[in-house]
Amino acid sequence: MSGDIKPRVILVDDDESIRIWMKGLLVALGCEIVGEAGNGRDGVELFKKERPDLVMLDIQMPEVGGAMALEYILAADPEARVILLTSVESLEFINERMQAGAHYYLSKHAPLDEFKAALEEQISKVKQIL
C-alpha cells in the first residue's frame, strides 16, 4: 500500500454544512472528493459518472432517499463501497440497510472523537483494497 493512495469519494447529503464538514474530515484523512450531491437522485447519477472508491450516503434526503439510492448504486455496481451517514437511531432500520449492502454506518449523533476514529478506520480499509 502506497502512502500516495487517495481514495476517490463522493458525498451525498442534503445538508450542505454536513457535506462541508465531511469534506474537511475526508481530505484530512487523505481522500480526494470527486463530487457532491444534495439528494439521492443526483447522488446515484454522480456515482455512475465518477465510479468512486467510496460513497458517503445520508439516509434521509429529499427526492430519492438514501435507502433507495443505496439500492440503485448497488444495482449499478454490486461491489460499491457505501458508508451510511445517519441520524436514524432505529437498529432495525440500520440493520436492514447493512443487509442490503452498505459496508458501514456512522451516526451523526456520535461523539466527534468516536465518529472520526470510525471514519479513519473505514478509510484505512478502503486504502487497503486499492
Average pLDDT, the chain: 91
The C-alpha cell 440500520 sits at 94
% of residues, the chain, pLDDT over 90 = 67
**C-alpha dist (Å) from residue 44 to 12, 70, 112:** 9, 8, 28
* 51-88 per-position pLDDT tens digit: 999 999 998 888 888 889 999 999 999 999 999 998 87
Best CA proximity match to 84, nearest among 73, 97, 93, 72: 97
Bridge pairing between strands 82-86 and 32-37: unpaired
CATH of 8-129, picked from 3.40.50.2300, 3.40.1390.20, 3.30.1360.120, 1.10.340.30, is 3.40.50.2300
DSSP state of 123: H
Q: Is 16 buried (19+), middle (13-18) or exposed (0-12) by CB count in 10 A?
A: exposed
**Domain ranges within the chain, ordered by starting residue:** 8-129
Q: Please say if the pLDDT value at position 19 is more than 80.
A: yes
- The pLDDT score that the predictor gives to residue 51 is 98
pLDDT, mean of residues 95-109: 86
Q: Please say if the pLDDT value at position 3 is more than 60.
A: no
Q: Are 31 and 83 in contact (CB under 8 A)?
A: no
